Chains A and B, each alone.
Chain A
């Protein structure tokens, strides 16, 4: 029985991923800032699947608490076989481009918080020489755009960090997967323009779980973002800076 820690468990994708793990017999610890919601989701998954699901509080940006938090979660689970990083926020991009505090907040929520938690978790997984880590990034991290480069740069950092960690963890037999997510129909994108390529959280979670099962390394969800971003990355900077992506 896998013991899986899900960070940022109140997002729709995290909830659906958790349900996939539960259906396959995993024991879960759902961590989120909004503990009331995390508890509701834990109960829901438990009623639906019969799995044992714990829940508790964590704050990605409160670095000082991370070591204790990981320890507590592992204790509650009895072991730690996998970590799924689902937290992240678009933040207030307009504010973030003017106010350094807002910019740093976005970076902490999406990148430095993840660095801190992944470093702690990686140590455990490496020592026990088994386990996995799933990291939810974004296609926004593939190229900086005028519209959301603060968020995008945090995700780019996350991708690179995860990439390096994958190499280190490979030696210990630990599977590290990067997910580059396109637009998904959640509160993050609700009411925003450009929803032509948007997919449902169910489809996103199904693809991510399938990719995890076949031990993918870097996966675009949905798949068509790979060719799209492949082309986007080829556009010369001189032209790209004038586009309205």
Chain B
């Protein structure tokens, strides 16, 4: 019996059903209704983009904090199922993979072979596409700049349905507008990424206790030329003479022969750790000035002595918060807002003092606050600039938005800017003033997507694209 005459119902090539879903970023604020698709084949993705129904936005792992990966009442395409690796060339350390592949998978597959992504953010659970769209940065920014530095090329699916290869040589305008372009130029399909060679899964460095802000800044200046990775946890609950007291952590990947003999046999083996999870939302009062102050004082007290040589496994060094699943739940149902800003080098010290004092006076404790020195930066809308960056998180509470507007004004007055991938509330005029290259980006966006088929809640709120 031949089946040729029997029509087989097939959904190959169709776009599938969307699911109406309340989506949010990692900060869980805001939560907005979107029409969510999750293609499992390229042909499904292509037909979703080809349909003219409403504006569209690609979404990766949903680890941007605010509304960057939301598209309220419009279409969102979750790309996490398009996560295939395409090729790996050991001599050039170059991996080609689809945009839905996460850094976590890359580490799992390639660290045992002696390769690691040159730039990783504070979580390993981000996708390649999202990392390019936000042009993320990590603890090695002063050395390696942001994520784009290791990206050789990517294929971009345009609103027209065409696919363009973008690199520094080919379609360079599209390349630089997509890096840090928050997903608004098209859908990043396949990425060519250069990994870094490492000899072990361990890092060696120091933990430096800095009793105040000046000591912390001095420690960054002194150690950044020696270490590929540096970051400081900063106690934003202490004031006066202790303002800005920090624990600075600096380290390099350990060469194999510097490990103790017992570890040299398996330099890429680290013990898997118990990973607790936050099973439910903590009540909103769980984080209050008292608990924040106590927690921060305890962390500082735990690090005795001035400088201690230390060995870290890569997981606890790069991704300490990944060890607690759903840590975003400690902020309660209302969620939280991340606030990350950067000041130009000459304004950094004054900006940091002014901001830390404002936070102290507001009694809005930031549970975890991170300080880091940035290096050089390329990319039209990329966030980093040479200078110091401060990342804070605040539980959503009454008066918070007004308070953050005040911080914005202070950062802007010193020529600094705020990070879009963490933002959920910046005013459009602030955004426009902080990102002077915006008109050039808008020009490229208009040429590549004249009808603004690609849009997002962030794009409309910050007026990145015309209303």
Contact = CB atoms under 8 A, between A and B. Distances in A.
Among B2, B8, B44, B98, chain A packs the most CB atoms within 10 A around the CB of B8
A45 to B, nearest CB: 9
Interface in A122-147: none
Interface in B228-267: none
A91 B9 CA distance: 6
Interface string B33-55: 00000111111100000000000
A95 B9 CA distance: 10
B59 to A, nearest CB: 15
Contact of A62 (B2, B42, B85, B86): B2
Contacts of A102: 7, 9
B6 interface: yes
B275 interface: no
B311 interface: no
B350 interface: no
A50 to B, nearest CB: 10
A43 B38 contact: no
Interface in A1-44: 10-12, 33-34, 36-37, 40-41, 43-44
A48 interface: yes
Nearest to A10: B41
Contacts of B12: 33-34
A11 B40 CA distance: 8
A63 B3 contact: yes
A102 B12 CA distance: 16
Nearest to B95: A47
A172 interface: no
B1 interface: yes
A105 B17 contact: no
A68 to B, nearest CB: 14
Given A34-B43, A190-B19, A43 B84 contact: yes
Interface residues of B, number: 30
Contacts of A63: 1-3
B7 A44 contact: no
Interface string A172-214: 0000000000000011001100000000000000000000000
B16 interface: yes
A105 B7 CA distance: 7
A109 interface: yes
B145 to A, nearest CB: 27
Contacts of B39: 187
A12 B40 contact: yes
Contacts of B451: none
B149 to A, nearest CB: 23
Given A43-B86, A47-B86, A191 B18 contact: yes
A96 B6 CA distance: 13
Interface residues of A, number: 33
Given A108-B8, A191-B18, A48 B3 contact: no
Nearest to A62: B3
B9 A105 contact: yes
Contact of A61 (B3, B38, B85): B3
Contacts of B3: 61-63, 108
Contacts of A119: none
Interface in A37-67: 37, 40-41, 43-44, 47-48, 61-64
Nearest to B43: A34
A153 interface: no
A120 interface: no
A191 B9 contact: no
Nearest to A48: B109
Pick the most buried of B6, B43, B87: most chain A CB atoms within 10 A of its CB.
B6
A36 B12 CA distance: 12
Nearest to B16: A187
A106 B85 contact: no
A104 B85 contact: no
A41 B84 contact: yes
Nearest to B39: A187
Given A44-B86, A102-B9, A64 B43 contact: no
Nearest to B38: A190
Contacts of B11: 89, 187
A160 interface: no
B308 to A, nearest CB: 38
B86 A101 contact: no
A227 to B, nearest CB: 25
Contacts of A217: none
B334 interface: no
Nearest to B14: A187
Interface string B263-286: 000000000000000000000000
A180 to B, nearest CB: 22
A105 B38 contact: no
Nearest to B1: A63
Contact of B40 (A44, A186, A191): A186
B327 interface: no
Given A47-B85, A47-B88, A187-B39, 15 more contacts: A33-B10, A36-B42, A36-B43, A40-B42, A48-B85, A89-B9, A89-B11, A101-B7, A102-B7, A105-B8, A106-B9, A186-B40, A187-B11, A191-B17, A191-B18
Interface of B: 1-4, 6-12, 16-19, 38-44, 81, 84-88, 98, 109
Top 7 nearest A-B pairs (CB, nearest first) are A44-B84, A191-B19, A191-B17, A47-B85, A61-B3, A105-B8, A91-B9
24 contacts: A10-B41, A12-B81, A33-B12, A36-B43, A37-B41, A37-B42, A37-B43, A40-B84, A43-B84, A43-B85, A43-B87, A47-B85, A63-B1, A64-B2, A104-B6, A105-B6, A105-B8, A108-B3, A109-B8, A187-B16, A187-B40, A190-B17, A190-B38, A191-B19
Interface of A: 10-12, 33-34, 36-37, 40-41, 43-44, 47-48, 61-64, 89, 91-92, 95-96, 101-102, 104-106, 108-109, 186-187, 190-191
